[in-house]
């Protein structure tokens, strides 16, 4: 995607104050503000995760890859345009990029805009650690809670969020289910 990175909007400047992510270091995870230079890695991660969905489409591999890259480009444009005050972090494991965490802390209710881990790193508890860290950070900052949306067909992620205390919040749009974690309820539990 190196040639198509040109023309993509840059990530907004990192927010201040920074959030203390030192609790993640015990698991070999660090967060770093994403930059334009990270877009090829982020696009590669996104394409890798989308290709299995395209397995039975009658397109060539090149067409499937081009489609997934275009979806990444559109998604990136949407995120940076509609979430200009969000933190756009690259998730690193022992210094190597393994995912992304986009978190909007601009209101009293924080919102996980997107969380994505490479297939090789799923099912090892890293997603749980990242989300738990967001919840703990939100509570420590006095946020009312954390919101997110999950694809209706992503039962595994929905189950993870439910185990971490998120509850369905409304009917959604048929494709995505909004969920919310309430900091006050969690503190009294």
pLDDT tens digits, residue range 27-47? 899 999 999 999 999 999 999
The reported pLDDT for the residue numbered 78 is 94
Alpha helices for 2-102 (secondary structure H): 2-5, 22-25, 39-50, 61-82
Assess whether pLDDT exceeds 70 at residue 2.
Answer: no
Could you tell me the residue ranges of all domains in the chain? Answer: 2-188
pLDDT tens digits, residue range 144-185? 999 999 999 899 999 999 999 999 998 889 899 999 999 988
**CA–centroid distance for 119 within its chain:** 14
Of the two residues 9 and 80, the one the predictor is more confident about is 80
Other C-beta atoms within 10 Å of 6: how many?
Answer: 9
The reported pLDDT for the residue numbered 16 is 63
Assess whether pLDDT exceeds 50 at residue 3.
Answer: no
The reported pLDDT for the residue numbered 79 is 95
**Architecture in CATH for domain 2-188:** 3-Layer(aba) Sandwich (3.40)
| Mean pLDDT across 126-142 | 95
Structure tokens at 78: 């949407």
Of the two residues 8 and 79, the one the predictor is more confident about is 79
Assess whether pLDDT exceeds 50 at residue 110.
Answer: yes
Measured in degrees and rounded to the nearest 5, phi and psi for residue 48 equal -55, -40
Assess whether pLDDT exceeds 80 at residue 81.
Answer: yes
pLDDT-based confidence at residue 103 (cuts at 50, 70, 90): very high
């Amino acid at each position: 995607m190196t040639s198509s990175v040109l023309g993509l909007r840059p990530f907004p400047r990192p927010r201040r104050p920074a959030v203390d992510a030192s609790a993640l270091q015990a698991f070999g995870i660090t967060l770093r503000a994403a930059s334009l230079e990270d877009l090829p890695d982020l696009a590669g991660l996104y394409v890798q995760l989308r290709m299995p969905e395209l397995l039975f489409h009658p397109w060539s591999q090149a067409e499937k890859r081009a489609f997934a890259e275009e979806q990444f480009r559109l998604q990136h444009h949407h995120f940076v345009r509609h979430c200009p005050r969000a933190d756009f972090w690259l998730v690193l494991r022992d210094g190597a990029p393994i995912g992304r965490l986009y978190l909007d802390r601009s209101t009293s209710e924080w919102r996980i805009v997107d969380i994505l881990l490479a297939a090789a790193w799923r099912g090892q508890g890293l997603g749980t650690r990242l989300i738990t860290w967001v919840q703990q950070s939100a509570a420590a900052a006095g946020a009312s809670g954390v919101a997110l949306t999950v694809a209706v067909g992503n039962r595994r992620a929905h189950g993870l969020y439910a185990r971490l205390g998120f509850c369905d919040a409304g009917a959604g749009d048929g494709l995505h289910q909004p969920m919310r974690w309430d900091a006050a309820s969690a503190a009294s539990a």
